[in-house]
Amino acid sequence: MLEIVVKTENWERHVRVSAEELAGLVRRIGGDGDRFLVVQRIPDVPDVFAQVWHTAGGDYTLEHRDGAAARHFQATVDGPEVVIAAITGWTRQEAGWDAGLAWSLVDMGPTREVPQLDLDGEDLEELEKRVREVLVGGYVSRAELAEFAEEYLVTEGRRPVSREQAEALADRMWLERVAEQAKWRGETDPERLARAFTALQEAGITARENFTCCRSCGQSEIGGEGGPDARGFVYFHAQCTDSAAAGHGLMLFYGGFDGSSETTAAIGHEVVAALEAAGLHAEWDHDPDRAIKLTPLDWRRRLVG
């Protein structure tokens, strides 16, 4: 799989696609509402991306940006295969991926200076603390993180953080986290958890990470997530993620779609077995009315974007 995220005009988001899937997405674009796609590497880095625009019957406009407005280039291509080769090479960071194309610099206009945050020490400390907690949780994108930073201190009649200031703060803290995770080696506990959830999903148990805001919403919405052959479910919600990121372990909620205690208990046993097979330690007393807890847990979830 290519370590990329592909976003399309029709709001699709494809994470870690194959080269063949990327090629299919490029060949697909051109119709109304599906004329472009944007590709970012994993983890996302500010001002680093490639994108392509195409309307049916016309040329392809290929762009890439390498860290700043002064490094934003564009080329016109007459067919999808050259675009596919270039974007795939960009994705893999191959030497000479951009050779053979007539690139021109895109004039993005003057760079606007972002004013410093006008916050007292307590508000700034609280804002950075909460942004950091959301970052460590690991499920947020850069855009979502900036939106969170912008809205966190909003009160009636007071909006102390502008969108530009929020984006600058989010990007700074995002890059700090990216630098931290670059030092991690091997499989992390959240990756073991994802592996266990994938196995459960394949076994007919609907498995969702960071699903909804709370248990009440999770219980009411999980039924709509399962396919026709799903026997049961397991999930954890955003508050559980916060707890795991803070070092307090992770609570998992599970059950059978038939509502019986027997099925719920059986699902619980399958969940524990999958977790332990992935190398995690699960605490559960076999009571179908009690959650499964993962502890100890080293919550180091790698950012995607």
Enter the pTM of the model: 0.92
Look at residue 213 in the predicted model and tell me its pLDDT: 96
**Consecutive 10-residue runs of the chain (305 residues): their mean pLDDT?**
98 97 98 97 97 97 95 97 98 97 93 91 96 97 97 94 97 98 98 98 98 97 94 98 97 96 98 98 97 97 96
Cβ neighbours of residue 39 under 8 Å, at least 6 residues apart?
A: 4, 5, 6, 22, 49, 50, 51, 87, 90, 91
d(CA 219, CA 253): 9
Pairing of strands 205-208, 232-235: parallel
Look at residue 117 in the predicted model and tell me its pLDDT: 94
80-92 and 19-28 are packed helices; what angle lies between their axes, rounded to 10 degrees?
140
Is 282:276 a contact under the CB 8 Å cutoff? yes
